[in-house]
Amino acid sequence: MEWPVTESRTADDLAKTLREAIQRLSRRVRQARPVGDLTFSQLSALTSLQLAGALTPRELADVERVQPPTMTKIVGKLEERGLVIRTPHPTDGRQVILAATEQGRAVYAQFELARNAWLAQQLHELSPADQDVLSRAAEIMQRVARA
């Protein structure tokens, strides 16, 4: 959708259009993943552990916005595959810490490569001028995200 430059354009209109575009692009990028039998929920949990380093099961459930019993099932599947490991919490004997294993980090890396390759291909098909606009937009979006 081309955004017309008019006096009547409002920040609310831009917010709606931008949010919808981001959601669609994010959904499409998430679909670009290596062939495998990990679910989106499992990949998301593995990604969160990769980015955070290590989390308790409760923290991971909070980050993923799921109930703890749901996260228990997800983590169980990841553990079965050797992608996640539990270690004792250093200060609370009732807790455990979850972290991605070396194999889990390798799966995450493959996932990232597939997503980046898909997006790079889409960007390659754009004109240099459009690529420049998106480069500038990415910088602005990073600033907005930090606010």
> pLDDT, tens digit, for every residue of 56-83?
999 999 999 999 999 999 999 999 999 9
How high is the pLDDT of residue 87? 94
The CATH number given to 24-146 is 1.10.10.10
Tokens, residue 147: 């606010």
Contact between residue 97 and residue 89 where contact means Cβ atoms under 8 Å apart: yes
High-pLDDT (> 90) share of the chain, %: 73
Q: Residues 20-60: pLDDT tens digits? A: 999 999 989 888 877 677 888 999 999 999 999 899 999 99
* Domain range summary for the chain, segments of one domain joined by +: 24-146
